[in-house]
């Protein structure tokens, strides 16, 4: 039988079969790990092959194979260790909730998030929440950012999770897909999830700072079916994505609008810094690219902001 992993405790896995039944499963034998050194062989979101066996105490599922992952998000199981923990796999999209105030979300935070999503190969959507609280300046700022990010290829939705405005749009995007929500603490994740599916209480945000320490090997993501045919992945303690290790010359490729121009740079290994005849610098000077994006890029490149290597706690 084939199925999808909804929950994992480390030794037991809850697998939903294609016919919609949930089974408690264990793993047996060696897995093809697809080249990932991971502390957990099977992650939430994995598509697996399993068999039901009965040794007298009722049927128990045995997972024998993991189908190839379309994508996956990881974190280091121990700091600086090569071993990684796969948080979840096969995500269709990730939503980043953004608020301009209460709390502020910086463009550098947004950009680091988008770079990570791209490195993971997961489509990202921006949700500008709490629109009802903004004055003229903030509304203009949201309009500017929406146009900027839409132009780069990231869908943007203006949202009021509290009043319900445009929640229907989010719901429509989520139908038949597996999604994850991210964003700083206080941006409205719980409110949105509650508006989408009243009664579903995810753990995403409510984890104390203290609790975050040292729980790297003990927390597991969990997947939930929503009533309107969507799946949501809840990742306790991480509001972002875990870590991606990137080489300096890769980072620019994860800024789609820079990547598009790269072929026009004089040097094919151009880092868009002080190189002559750099198409990205020219684009900036002609106001065809946003300086805020470039600043985020340089920050990441200089590693002056190391957050892209660490979990994003809100
Ligand atoms: N005015 C307004 N308040 C909101 C909106 N969405 C969430 N909030 C409020 O923002 C606060 C934090 O929301 P919460 O969902 O707990 O954020 P989380 O930490 O991301 O889960 C709560 O007081 C919510 O009622 C919104 O669209 N408009
Ligand atoms: Mg919350
Ligand atoms: Zn360049």
**What does the pLDDT profile of the chain (314 residues) look like in tens digits?**
999 999 998 789 999 999 999 999 999 876 666 666 677 789 999 999 999 999 888 889 999 999 999 999 887 666 556 677 888 999 999 999 999 999 999 999 999 999 999 999 999 999 999 999 999 999 999 999 999 999 999 999 999 999 999 999 999 999 999 999 999 999 999 999 999 999 887 765 444 444 444 444 446 789 999 999 999 998 876 545 655 778 889 999 999 999 999 999 999 999 999 999 999 999 999 999 999 999 999 999 987 545 444 444 33
Output the pLDDT for position 87.
87
Q: For residue 280, how far is its CA from the centre of ligand 3 (angstroms)? A: 5
pLDDT at 308: 44
Give, for ligand 1, the residue of 104, 161, 169 to mutate: max count of ligand atoms closer than 8 Å to Cβ.
161
Nearest ligand (C-alpha, residue 272): 3
Using the mean position of ligand 3's atoms as its centre, give its distance from the Cα of residue 287 in Å.
15
Structure tokens at 115: 């770079």
Residue 311 confidence (pLDDT): 41
Give the Å distance between the CA of 171 and the centre of ligand 2: 18
CB of 129 closer than 6 angstroms to any ligand 1 atom: yes
CA of 305 to the centre of ligand 3 (A): 21
Query: For a substitution probing ligand 1, which of 100, 158, 188, 200 has the most ligand atoms within 8 Å of its CB?
Result: 188
Give me the pLDDT at residue 40, please. 79
Q: Which pLDDT value is given to residue 38?
A: 74
Q: For residue 148, give the nearest of 192, 114, 97 by alpha carbon.
A: 114
pLDDT of residue 203: 65
Kindly state if the Cβ of 157 falls inside 6 Å of ligand 1. no
Measure the CA–CA gap between 236 and 74, rounded to whole angstroms: 13
pLDDT (0 to 100) of residue 220: 77
**What pLDDT is stored for residue 107 in this prediction?**
97
What is the atom index within ligand 1 of the atom nearest the CA of 194? 15
Question: What pLDDT does 75 receive?
Answer: 77
- Give the pLDDT score at 100: 98
Please give the distance, rounded to the nearest whole angstrom, from the Cα atom of residue 92 to the centre of ligand 1. 25
Going through 90-240 in order, the beta strands assigned E by DSSP cover 93-98, 124-128, 156-158, 178-182, 222-225, 231-234
User: For the chain, where are the E strands, in sequence order?
Assistant: 2-8, 13-17, 22-27, 47-54, 59-66, 72-76, 84-89, 93-98, 124-128, 156-158, 178-182, 222-225, 231-234
- What's the token pair of residue 209? 């700072």
Q: Report every protein residue that has its C-beta within 5 angstroms of ion ligand 3.
A: 265, 270, 272, 278, 280
Rounded-to-integer distance, Cα 179 and Cα 153, Å: 18
């Amino acid at each position: 039988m084939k199925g999808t992993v909804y929950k994992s405790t480390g030794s037991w896995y809850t697998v939903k079969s294609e016919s919609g039944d949930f089974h408690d499963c264990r793993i047996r034998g060696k897995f093809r790990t697809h080249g990932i050194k991971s502390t957990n062989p099977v992650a939430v979101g994995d598509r697996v092959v399993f068999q039901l066996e009965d040794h007298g105490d009722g049927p128990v599922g045995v997972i024998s194979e993991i189908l190839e992952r379309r994508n996956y998000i990881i974190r280091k199981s121990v700091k600086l260790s090569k071993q990684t923990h796969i948080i979840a796999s096969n995500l269709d999209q990730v939503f980043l909730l953004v608020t301009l105030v209460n709390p502020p979300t910086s463009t550098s935070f947004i950009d680091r998030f988008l770079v990570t999503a791209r490195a993971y190969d997961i489509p990202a959507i921006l949700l500008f929440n709490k629109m009802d609280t903004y004055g003229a300046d903030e509304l203009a700022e949201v309009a500017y950012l929406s146009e900027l990010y839409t132009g780069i290829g990231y869908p943007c939705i203006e949202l009021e999770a509290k009043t319900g405005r445009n929640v229907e749009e989010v719901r429509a995007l989520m139908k038949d897909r597996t999604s994850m929500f991210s964003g700083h603490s206080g941006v409205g994740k719980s409110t949105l999830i509650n508006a989408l599916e009243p009664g579903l209480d995810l753990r995403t945000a409510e984890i104390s700072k203290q609790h975050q320490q040292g729980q790297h090997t003990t927390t597991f993501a969990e997947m939930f079916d929503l009533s309107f045919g969507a799946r949501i992945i809840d990742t306790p303690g991480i509001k972002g994505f875990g870590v991606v290790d990137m080489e300096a010359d890769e980072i620019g490729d994860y800024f789609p609008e820079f990547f598009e121009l790269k072929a026009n740079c004089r040097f094919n290994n151009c880092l868009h810094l002080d190189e002559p005849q750099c198409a990205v610098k020219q684009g900036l000077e002609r106001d065809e690219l946003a300086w805020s994006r470039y600043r985020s890029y340089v920050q990441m490149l200089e590693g002056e902001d190391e957050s892209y290597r660490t979990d994003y706690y809100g």
